[in-house]
Amino acid sequence: MGGIGKTALAVEAAHQARARGWFPGGTLFVDLRGYDDDPVTADQAVLALLDALGVRGQDLPPTPERQIDAYRALLAERRERTLLILDNASGPYQYLPLLPGTDRHRVLITSRDRPNSLAVRLIDLETLAADESVTLVTRALHHTDERDDRPAREPDALRELTDLCGHLPLALQIAAGMLRRRRHRRIASLVADIRSAGDPTAVLDGGSPGTDLYGRSLILRPVLETSYRRLPPDQARLLRLLGVAPGAETGTEAIAALADLDMEAALSLLEDLAATHLVTPVRGGDGAASGVRWRVHDLVRVFAAGVVSGDAGLREEGEAARERVLAFYVQRADAADDRLRWLPGRAEPAWFPERGQALAWLDGERAALVAAAGWGREERFANAAIRLAESLGEYLSWRRYFDDWIATSEAAREAAQLVEDRLGEAAAWNNLGLALYGTGRAEEAIDALTHGRDLFQATGRRHYEAIAWNSLGLALQEAERAEEAIDAHTRARDLHRTIGDRHREAMAWNNLGNALQEAGRVEEAIDAHTRARDLYQAAGDRHREATAWNNLGNSLMKADRAEEAIEMYSEALKAFQEFEDWYSEGQTFFNLALTYERASRHPEAHTAYLQSADAYTRANAPTEAAHARTYAAELPE
């Protein structure tokens, strides 16, 4: 893409090649200005090349055709290998006539477009890695003043600045220039300015532009504008719409919905945009078109969104596109949620034949789904966003993405208040409370869950009220208010039993058992967990059955029935491993290790602690993994 550093890399490569003696005939360089309003033609470029080769004035042939012939003849006669750099070409028409007629010499061509029709070796340039971006800005500052220690004093601000620049070399060079001019200001001040503006190009291009080593102005926005202006209308429309998409990386099907296109048409346009380096395919999935994902560089997204916001007609086009992609996400997220909650005997969910497929789709679209749920703060999108947030709860809980769950729940709550949807607001409060409970913020969770319970009671929905009581009991238990938790779970159990929901009655029994255990009522806890296990088995809920086996093991351990507890943990582990629920597997192995340790079976305890650490590591829970390894290390020999 523009600003990626193509020219700088080509010139540096030429310097290093000459230093190694590869090109004793020297280097010829021509800037073809392919993306300017008046690009250099091959006929114009050959005059500069002939001049560099010593042909000028009266020696010039009279016509462009003869001039190109003379240029090629000179190269053919030239025995010493020469390197030709044809920089900034927008198409083959600019450089094909300039290629040597012999393979003795070498040519480097830089372009924003992929010449897929030509048999040339292609080297695609990506943005810099995060550490490389930091190094570039640091060196740029030190080259001006070696006493400039801001990078060392503000490493976090510098990393944030490079993130805001999208790790694009041109943007990084401009930022370095601004920091040089702002010598007595902190890096954090530039970061704050960019964040406040919301558009990095507005800030980075706002100062007096410098120039690069080739005399070009260091201005970012015109680079993006020239790339956009050269696009055919259908490609330009798709790029604009990608600017209003909810994520920087999106699947082909979601993009097709965004643009109101069939899959084949969307894929064709995306491939065209990829050829101009305005989008990047990032993953092929199973090789099918629906599995391909596409990433848009942050600065390109900001630019495209700015094009949309600057025109009333394009704004409405963008809003309609957002409605379409949000409707698509609601449909697919509902289907994925149905698959995650599916139990034997129920109708098969649409779209996702297997649980793993649902999780893979949700994993791939997670950032976009969370962002789209945030659109609910706008009335036009509120109702759809409420549904989307509700459909994400099971997944975000399963993956333990509690921050995302908090964000989507808060957005859903605000959306429900905006459109006066009391049931939706109650559900959002309940999900928010569960997410806060997951992060250990018990008192905040109790407050949110109490709001949800009261709203459910006011709407007269006893089924939802029962769910709310069960959720509230979890937070009360986390806050070490065991008796109140017992009361809440008992209420939930009784309501579910009255309604006839045996599956959720099992959940209430399971949670009630935990609360009873914490209150020291161990025999009652054993009975509660046994009832939960049996009800889960009857419902065919293998995963939650495993949680009941694990909790039953905990109660039996407290009752000093170690051998029975070990048997319960073993049953739980089988199911958790089937579901690849690494976090729960880590918990169960840890509980098993504690039981072995109490029974003075230290070698088995040591093994179980390490297995717990491994499972927690797979679950991306490093704190818990370290905790398990510490316990293993502290066991007596």
Reply yes or no on whether the pLDDT at 288 is more than 50: no
Sole residue written with tokens 């030509």? 118
Reply yes or no on whether the pLDDT at 513 is more than 90: yes
Whole-angstrom distance, CA of residue 614 vs CA of residue 281: 33
Is there a single domain that holds both residue 23 and residue 90? yes
Q: What is the CATH number of the domain that holds 236?
A: 1.10.10.10
User: Is residue 189 situated within a structural domain?
Assistant: yes
Share of the chain above pLDDT 90, in %: 80
Instruction: State how many domains the chain has.
Output: 4
Q: What is the CATH number of the domain that holds 598?
A: 1.25.40
Is there a single domain that holds both residue 212 and residue 269? no
Reply yes or no on whether the pLDDT at 336 is more than 90: yes
The whole domain housing 196 covers: 130-221
User: Is residue 122 situated within a structural domain?
Assistant: no
Whole-angstrom distance, CA of residue 539 vs CA of residue 343: 7
Whole-angstrom distance, CA of residue 545 vs CA of residue 572: 8
Res 120: pLDDT: 85
4-52 residue pLDDT tens: 999 999 999 999 999 999 999 999 999 999 888 889 999 999 999 999 9
Reply yes or no on whether the pLDDT at 506 is more than 60: yes
Reply yes or no on whether the pLDDT at 209 is more than 80: no
Res 287: pLDDT: 40
Q: Could you count the other beta carbons within 10 Å of the beta carbon of residue 148? A: 17
Is there a single domain that holds both residue 148 and residue 236? no
pLDDT-based confidence at 285, cuts 50/70/90?
very low
| The last residue of a domain, from among 190, 221, 252 | 221
pLDDT-based confidence at 218, cuts 50/70/90?
low
Sole residue written with tokens 């005059």? 47
Reply yes or no on whether the pLDDT at 286 is more than 50: no
Burial class (CB in 10 A: 0-12, 13-18, 19+), 379: exposed
Asked whether 384 and 327 are in contact (CB, 8 A), the reply is: yes
Whole-angstrom distance, CA of residue 601 vs CA of residue 587: 19
Burial class (CB in 10 A: 0-12, 13-18, 19+), 461: middle
User: Is residue 64 situated within a structural domain?
Assistant: yes
226-266 residue pLDDT tens: 889 889 999 999 999 999 999 889 999 999 999 999 999 99
| The last residue of a domain, from among 221, 248, 276 | 221
Q: What average pLDDT does the chain have?
A: 92
Average pLDDT of the residues in 55-76: 91
Res 211: pLDDT: 56
Res 236: pLDDT: 95
User: Is residue 393 situated within a structural domain?
Assistant: no
Reply yes or no on whether the pLDDT at 207 is more than 70: no
Is there a single domain that holds both residue 598 and residue 635? yes
User: Is residue 515 situated within a structural domain?
Assistant: no
